[in-house]
A and B are shown apart, each in its own frame.
Chain A
Amino acid sequence: MKPAAFTYHDPKTSNEVIELLSQHEDAKILAGGQSLIPMLNMRFVVPDHVIDINGVKDLDSVFDNGESLEIGAMTRQSNLSKSHDVKTKTPIFLEALGNVGHFQTRNRGTLGGSLCHLDPAAEIPCLMAAYDAVMIAQGSNGLREIPFSEWPLAYMMPSLEPDELLIKVRVPYWRSHHGYSFVEFARRHGDFAIIAVAVLIEMDGKTISRASISVGGADIRPIRLFEAEEGLIGENLDVRVFKSAAEIARKVDAMSDAYVTSSYRQRLAATLVERALVQAAERVSRGENNA
């Protein structure tokens, strides 16, 4: 099994990538290859040109700008887990990344690749939705910032022009004492989630002052449960409050496929939202992630 013939390019700068993208109509960017190469091998995608961005400089840095983490698109998933800034400022990443495939695929797979592939059940997009992260793309017309809420256009289709390259992602910090939890259910460790849930909470004294709940795997894109988030504000860390958030999750729009029905996904969403809230509450009470 091998891909159909293509012309291989290995540009060294993002400008060269943009130039190649504008010159060639049928070109595919090759990042970690953990999703693209299977599709090339099976000839689901048959591009004339493959633009390998593994040699492009400055796309794999993790930079703490004081208010947010700026992560280069080519940062490998395994390196992200090892970053000190990620561990201390955005510890939920470690929990989410541990579920992205296997350690061998994380050694190649990148942050940007997952966000551009945009599998409905992928963990990284679910996390970016929870953070309202900003995607930064470079194209012939310069840089463009896209809030994550506008990033997924359709099933596995990010908001990228044909000549645009995702270069980095900006993840705004939550307060250093925040609660967090990423939980998912999959048949086997390392499989795509049937449902994944990311939760972030901030406290003002004994009451919740800010909350974010994102559900992945239910629909074609991660869903934020805004109604449930609002319901948490001003409340104590109380299981009854979490249960009413879970009831909202139970009504989430969910797909059916050959293996899993939509009602099963909805029940799972309710269970996992409650579980994630309980864990986030425990963590924020213990002040576990003092940065």
Chain B
Amino acid sequence: MPDYRNIKVVVNGVEHELDVETRTSLGDFLRQEIELTGTHLGCEHGVCGACTVLLDGEAVRSCLMLAVQANGHEITTVEGLAEEDGSLHPLQEAFWKHHGLQCGFCTPGMLTSLTAYLGENPEPNERDIREAISGNICRCTGYQSIVDAALDAAKKMRGE
């Protein structure tokens, strides 16, 4: 018998209250219920990192959390990174400039992960960035352009 719960979550600043089946992952909930399809589900078992979102500001895998567990919390997805007027987050800007994406499948997870990471580690070196994205798989870029973008964004965010 389906098991439902009523939950309240704030996604990118907007409050949503609805009934969810308790087995629904946060990732499926964001894509199918809230219709924010920027969050990508690759492996659905924690390995690829594409589904990463921010839970109260911390990077977590949305395929490894139930939507019901987000009750009372704030979620930021890739759609929530840019400003309301559409101006890009410094990381998005840097990804664009350095060709940090090709097919774009891994990009939402890269951007959310790096947003959280740079928030806590404003002065990373190349090795730090490679370690930070070791849990995000990219099949296209070979990572170099992503690392370049992250280092450049970190600089901009430090005001250099």
Contacts and interface: CB of A to CB of B under 8 A. Distances in A.
B65 interface: yes
Interface in B112-156: 113, 116-117, 130-132, 134-135
B44 A103 contact: no
A2 B24 contact: yes
B23 interface: yes
A54 B132 contact: no
B69 A190 contact: no
A4 B22 CA distance: 11
A106 to B, nearest CB: 10
Nearest to A188: B134
A104 interface: yes
Given A3-B23, A105-B46, A8 B134 contact: no
B78 interface: no
Contact of A4 (B23, B59, B63, B135): B23
Interface stretch (B1-9, B11-19, B84-92, B100-108): B1-9
A6 B44 CA distance: 18
Nearest to A3: B23
A34 interface: yes
B58 A107 contact: yes
Interface of B is mostly: mixed
B34 interface: no
A37 interface: yes
B28 A8 contact: no
Contact of B134 (A41, A42, A189): A189
Given A7-B3, A33-B65, A34-B64, A104 B135 contact: yes
Nearest to B65: A33
Given A5-B1, A8-B5, A107 B59 contact: yes
Contacts of A101: 135
A3 B65 CA distance: 12
Contacts of A6: 3, 22-23
Contacts of B22: 6-8, 50
Interface of A is mostly: loop
A2 B3 contact: no
A251 interface: no
A50 B3 CA distance: 11
B66 A108 contact: no
Nearest to A37: B64
B77 interface: no
A37 B63 contact: yes
Contact of A41 (B2, B60, B63, B117): B63
Query: By CB atoms of chain A within 10 A, which of B44, B134, B135 has the most?
Result: B135
A38 B45 contact: yes
B105 to A, nearest CB: 17
A41 B45 contact: yes
B76 interface: no
Interface string A228-247: 00000000000000000000
A189 B131 CA distance: 7
B61 interface: yes
Nearest to A190: B134
A47 to B, nearest CB: 11
Contact of A107 (B60, B63, B134): B60
A12 interface: no
B32 to A, nearest CB: 11
B64 A42 contact: no
Interface of A: 1-8, 10, 30, 33-34, 37-38, 40-42, 50, 52, 54, 78, 101-105, 107-108, 188-190
22 contacts: A2-B24, A2-B25, A2-B28, A3-B23, A6-B22, A8-B5, A33-B65, A37-B45, A37-B63, A37-B66, A38-B45, A41-B44, A41-B45, A42-B45, A101-B135, A103-B117, A105-B46, A105-B135, A107-B55, A107-B58, A108-B61, A108-B65
